[in-house]
Structure 1
């Protein structure tokens, strides 16, 4: 397969004692910024990035302590991760990005929008976490286990590889997710939002996603039939189609 001439090597960005790794592909007026979930890294977005790169510039990142990004001295809160992403967007002078977050990544990008309203953004929340009343790690692990029972080998192998790369401090990093209160940020998200879930997602149930969509001033909820929490890994085509249609309707 020929190499992608629009793909640029991974680069590091350092901000307040933490480093994220990012790479870009594609070109165009629209910039998509992909933010992964807990235990993951930018490689889980490869399929989605390739599809979106046909319609604009795509930036995928490893948050500090995930993927290829080094472990920071302190485990960042969701709010601190959002500040790092916002600092990156400013440093790279990225105008009007479409921020796409998966799972915990949705928590990060809603904080980017709410805490940094000077950065004009549109958000795609894929499988948003964490449901009110379900914010214990044991509950979340059980939900994820149920979701993965019927998943494809591609999803299982990709997830296992990324969880191993996240390192021995993964459990400590996971604690940042359930203590965050995304519902406090939702009403302060100024831009348009697409809430996207797999039809069979047990981690982000429909009732919770309906709440998320209603709590954001301007949001739409869409579902991918026959998919679970890892919908953009198993088959990214439906997710890409829904994202592009939402942008065209905007």
Structure 2
């Protein structure tokens, strides 16, 4: 049975291990409100690292461990970003979640874009937080270098939680990183037909300003917000500024 990591004490929570097409995700759902927020984590992470941000949101929260991350078992083969999106869509239909506000962080932003492009009826808005992978740096070396640069100035909480989850990510982490790098999210961006908010930490090397501007140019009406004095882990610790921007975006839908 999955553990509850995110629901405030005393809050009813639903935990589900959902299998579809040979892959399994873990979902933790709690809260209520006008919107349902769906949280998709980054590479090497899991839902547990986002405690700070989800408890600041006003609405229902569904946070996932994607296959091979967090508590979710390793899939028989590494999923592409498109297959991740299709799995998440099957889960949303299974639980009849209705249109959701998708919060995709890092790798999760790529899956969020695919979900909105491939399954538009399930999505009412998209937040791309620290979006990857910069078109100009699609190789393992560049991404590893950017990640190390980000960690140098990151808060200890982010480093500790990230290290724990990377270890849980299993022996196939490099294969999973390659799956993010070969993905071309700009193809999905061009097909998104709902409101989009791009969030970038001011000091985030994995989501350079040039890439974020390219994203908003590719998605008509998309908005870009910069969070001062934050890096790539802006949703993991000291997430109050990001949570305010996400809530404001959702309330305007």
Query: So what's the TM-score if we normalise by structure 1?
Result: 0.95
Alignment of 1:48-87 (within 5 A): 48-52=53-57, 55-87=58-90
Distance 1:131 1:199 in 2: 16
Is the CA contact (8 Å cut-off) linking 1:196 and 1:224 kept in structure 2? yes
Q: Counterpart of 2:4?
A: none
- Map 1:168-187 onto structure 2 (within 5 A): 168-187=171-190
Deviation at 1:3, TM superposition (A): 5.6
Q: Kindly indicate whether residue 47 of structure 2 is the aligned counterpart of residue 42 of structure 1.
A: yes
Matched, 1:30 2:35: yes
Q: Distance between the aligned counterparts of 1:9 and 1:237, measured in 2?
A: 25
Q: 1:146 aligns with which of 145, 149, 152?
A: 149
* Cα offset, 1:45, TM superposition: 1.2
RMSD, aligned α-carbons: 1.3
| Alpha-carbon distance between aligned partners in 2 of 1:197 and 1:133, rounded to the nearest angstrom | 17
Q: How does 1:205-220 map to 2 (within 5 A)?
A: 205-220=208-223
CA contact (8 A) 2:99 2:121 kept: no
For residues 100 and 82 of structure 2, what CA distance do their matches in structure 1 show?
19
What SS does structure 1 have at the residue aligned with 2:68? coil
Per-residue CA deviation, residues 102-158 of structure 1 (Å, 9 max, x unaligned), is 000000010011111232321000000011120001100001111110111101000
Query: Which residue of structure 2 lines up, in the alignment, with residue 106 of structure 1?
Result: 109
CA distance in 2, matches of 1:160, 1:133: 27
Note the alpha carbon deviations across 1:222-241, whole angstroms, 9 max, x for none: 01110001111121111000
Deviation at 1:10, TM superposition (A): 2.6
Q: Distance in 1 between matches of 2:184 and 2:244?
A: 30
- Correspondence for 2:195: 192
Rounded Cα–Cα distance in structure 2 between residues aligned with 1:137 and 1:144: 11
Q: What runs of 5+ residues in structure 2 fail to find an aligned partner?
A: 1-6
1:6–1:27: 8 Å Cα contact kept in structure 2? no
Question: How far apart are residue 98 of structure 1 and its match?
Answer: 0.3
CA distance in structure 2 between the partners assigned to 1:189 and 1:205 by the alignment: 21
List structure 1 segments (4+ residues) > 4 angstroms apart after TM superposition.
Answer: none
On the 8 A contact 1:7/1:23 being kept in 2, the answer is no
How many residues align? The count is 247
> If the length of structure 2 is used for normalisation, what is the TM-score?
0.94
